[in-house]
Amino acid sequence: MSTFYITTPIYYVNDLPHIGHAYTTLLADVLARYHRMLGDETFFLTGTDEHGQKVQEAAQARGVSEQVHVDETVQRFQELWAKLEITNDDFVRTTQERHTRVVQEVLQDLLDRDEIYKAEYDGWYDVKSETFVTEKDLDLAEGQSPDELPHIKRIKEANYFFRMGKYQQWLIDYIKEHPGFIQPDFRRNETLGFLENQALTDLCISRPKTRLSWGIELPFDADYVTYVWFDALVNYISVPGYRRDEETFNRWWPAEYHLIGKDILTTHTVYWPTMLKAMGVPLPKTVFAHGWWLSGKDKMSKSDGNVVNPMDYIEAFGVDPFRYFLMAEMALGQDASFTHENFVKRYNADLANDLGNLGSRVLKMIKANCGGRIPEVPADALAGAEEKALWAATQAAVSKMEETLEAMRLDLGINEVLTAVRACNKYLEQRAPWKQAKEDDKTPLYQTMYTAAEVLRVVSSLLYPVMPTKMRELRVALGLDDAAPDIEHARQWGVLVPGTEIGPPGILFPRHVEEKKQEPPKQEKNVENTEGVQDMSTITLDDFTRIELKTAEVLTAERIEDTEKLLKLQVKVGEETRQLVAGIALHYAAEDLPGRKIVIVANLKPRKVFGVMSEGMLLAARLGDRLRLVTVDGEQESGARVG
């Protein structure tokens, strides 16, 4: 039996998961599901990166320990993966002892073999990326000094370095000799360009505890912790048993795919292979870097308020349509655009109109005209030209899915499956089973309905890894069990058993209709009309109960650039984290707000304020020029109802 080991990056827990995290993890899940269908023994690893400067700063801003912060934040990732029906076989956290012990052993081994040495560093440090940089790495204006950049500072300190530079020529040769190692091709060329046009420096793999205490302590110097990337990358081998279980490790390693975003290409195609070379461990077969999701034509950015929250679309459309859109819309390796309009358009066209309509038509016709059971089928059911053409289109989809699986172009495979769906809809129009049902001889009707049902069965198999819940519903409705399908059955004709009772047709994908915005009624000028106008000096109890007031704890606060009054707050409301925009900067310093218990309007419709999304409103009292927040007296958990 073949094995298939696939990994995602481990995600940094200084913030909440977004569409980029969701996409990489979904892609890994879909690939893992397809390989299980192919009969491959599969291991799918994801997890979280829980050390480093940003985590330490986020915890300090909240006034909690780093461990408490990561324990709480990791739940957001695990909850989203459960919601997205991710089938990972393991979930690594870099604070787990099973990982930290391996990292320390690797460090000690490299030091003992003179792959690590101590030296003094005097140069520039990028606080944002937590990396040492040279002036040529920075995007400086003419005459600008690096210390004028807010996230760049000069550092002079002793540190430990990994002799990465000595592997430069070896890595260049390896990449050229193994063209499949970095994919797509243009990413391979990007790494080669980086390596061939500059000297590869040694990598600083430590941080002094005087500057950063949250990390894995160096086993040979208790005054230092490990650089977060040297720690994080080791997860790919620590989990499958490196230095612990040689048999298990050799079964899974090297990995078939490290899936990454293009922004972490250098760490995975320069740092990681040189580390493995120094350890004497084979390299993974392929590092595949996908593109970014854009909001229209713009890069998604929290500051611009255009980041897509996966939960919003899951709640509005269901998890399977969200999974489908991400897989069908992006050509792997390229950037892709996520807009609400594109999402709705593809949902209605592909899922509601084409696939959903086909499923409904076939099941309803069988229910109404075949006694609610899979019909008997003549031995020569595929003898007709129309049936042959439809089955050929269906088998072309099976072949295309396997082909695009190897080529990492799932979008093309999915498109071929939808081509078969449309061909089946056209087939039904040509055969007109509603007319055949009126004839005394039911053989043509049974031939039509059995053929269409078989096409649906194959389609449900091919799309099962993409939309497991909906395709399971469809398969059960066709009289199949709810187990995951295998690809061999998708190649076979006649799997559906005549006489099997089908399930209720149902509606797989209800058509989505956007609510039209109501225009306010026009009033004629200079005409007083007070009829029906509510006296706002008093409200009813019903009016008041429509407002949902809750307690919230401020986690972080920062000033919104180019504004005088606005602060952007991250607040905890029960188990949920929200973003608020509040015009309180003239009255409260951002650093004084974390930890305060405030009261917010929790059911206010989200809106953008100065380009930043606000998901609620805090309450404050004003008298003249004096403004004070409405806070909670005594101990009270966030998320408590007020009223």
Question: Which 3-state string (H, E, C) describes 575-609?
Answer: CEEEEEEECCCCCCCHHHCCCCEEEEECCCCCEEE
| The pLDDT of residue 41 | 97
Q: Is 66 exposed, middle or buried (0-12, 13-18, 19+ CB in 10 A)?
A: buried
| The pLDDT of residue 538 | 57
With bands split at pLDDT 50, 70 and 90, how would you rate the model's confidence at 587? Answer: confident
With bands split at pLDDT 50, 70 and 90, how would you rate the model's confidence at 604? Answer: confident
Q: What's the Cα-to-Cα distance from 221 to each of 208, 215, 402, 415, rounded to whole Å?
A: 10, 13, 51, 56
With bands split at pLDDT 50, 70 and 90, how would you rate the model's confidence at 117? Answer: very high
Give kind and range of the element (H or E) at residue 288.
Answer: strand 287-290
| The pLDDT of residue 306 | 64
Rounded to an integer, what distance in angstroms lies between the CA atom of residue 82 and that of residue 12? Answer: 18
> In this predicted model, what pLDDT tens digit does every residue of 10-35 receive, in sequence order?
999 877 788 889 999 999 999 999 99
Rounded to an integer, what distance in angstroms lies between the CA atom of residue 183 and that of residue 332? Answer: 10
Rounded to an integer, what distance in angstroms lies between the CA atom of residue 417 and that of residue 30? Answer: 15
Give kind and range of the element (H or E) at residue 375.
Answer: none
Q: Which residues of 489-503 are buried (b: 16+ CB within 10 A; e: fewer)?
A: ebeeeebbeeeeebb
CA 268 to chain centre: 19
Q: Which residue has the higher pLDDT, 302 or 88?
A: 88
With bands split at pLDDT 50, 70 and 90, how would you rate the model's confidence at 624? Answer: low
CB 23 within 8 Å of CB 62: no
**Side-chain-side CA neighbours of residue 74 (13 Å):** 20
State residue 105 phi and psi, 5-degree precision: -65, -40
CB 559 within 8 Å of CB 585: yes
| The pLDDT of residue 302 | 58
- Among 54-58, 204-208, 268-272, 409-413, where is mean pLDDT lowest? 54-58
Closest of 577, 528, 584 to residue 558, by C-alpha: 584
> Taking the chain, what is the end-to-end CA distance rounded to the nearest angstrom?
62
With bands split at pLDDT 50, 70 and 90, how would you rate the model's confidence at 530? Answer: very low
> In this predicted model, what pLDDT tens digit does every residue of 274-308 receive, in sequence order?
999 999 999 999 999 998 888 776 676 655 666 67
Give kind and range of the element (H or E) at residue 70.
Answer: helix 66-83
Mean per-residue pLDDT, 369-396: 90
| The pLDDT of residue 422 | 97
pLDDT tops 90 at residue 611: no
Question: How many C-beta atoms lie closer than 10 Å to residue 128's C-beta?
Answer: 11
Sign of torsion over alpha carbons 131, 134, 135, 137: negative
Rounded to an integer, what distance in angstroms lies between the CA atom of residue 502 and that of residue 475? Answer: 9
Question: How many C-beta atoms lie closer than 10 Å to residue 436's C-beta?
Answer: 19
| The pLDDT of residue 642 | 83
Q: Is 643 exposed, middle or buried (0-12, 13-18, 19+ CB in 10 A)?
A: exposed
Average pLDDT over the chain reads 89
- Among 497-501, 530-534, 582-586, 617-621, where is mean pLDDT lowest? 530-534
Tell me if the bond preceding 465 is cis, omega within 30° of 0.
no
Domains of the chain: 314-490 (1.10.730.10), 541-642 (2.40.50.140)
Residues in the chain: 643
Determine if residue 136 is left, alpha or beta; phi over 0 gives left, psi from -120 to 50 gives alpha, anything else beta.
alpha
| The pLDDT of residue 541 | 58
| The pLDDT of residue 563 | 72
Closest of 160, 156, 161 to residue 223, by C-alpha: 160
With bands split at pLDDT 50, 70 and 90, how would you rate the model's confidence at 544? Answer: low
| The pLDDT of residue 278 | 98
CB 255 within 8 Å of CB 236: yes
Question: Which 3-state string (H, E, C) describes 454-489?
Answer: HHHHHHHHHCCCCCHHHHHHHHHHCCCCCCCCCHHH
pLDDT tops 70 at residue 562: no
- The percentage of the chain sitting over the pLDDT mark of 90, rounded to a whole number, equals 64
Mean per-residue pLDDT, 139-159: 80
What residues have CB less than 8 Å from 564, skipping those under 6 apart?
585, 586
Report residue 630 as tokens. 């409405």
| The pLDDT of residue 300 | 62
Closest of 202, 212, 223 to residue 110, by C-alpha: 202
**Bridge partners of residue 627, in order along the sequence:** 622
> In this predicted model, what pLDDT tens digit does every residue of 493-517 receive, in sequence order?
999 999 999 998 788 999 988 766 5
**Which DSSP category does 31 fall into?**
H
Rounded to an integer, what distance in angstroms lies between the CA atom of residue 72 and that of residue 596? Answer: 18
Element counts in the chain: helices (H) and strands (E): 22, 26
Find which of 293-307, 326-340, 346-360 is predicted with most confidence, using mean pLDDT. Answer: 346-360
With bands split at pLDDT 50, 70 and 90, how would you rate the model's confidence at 626? Answer: confident
pLDDT tops 60 at residue 360: yes
Q: What's the Cα-to-Cα distance from 73 to each of 48, 152, 195, rounded to whole Å?
A: 10, 27, 36
With bands split at pLDDT 50, 70 and 90, how would you rate the model's confidence at 382? Answer: confident
Rounded to an integer, what distance in angstroms lies between the CA atom of residue 421 and that of residue 295? Answer: 30
- The percentage of the chain sitting over the pLDDT mark of 70, rounded to a whole number, equals 92
| The pLDDT of residue 545 | 62
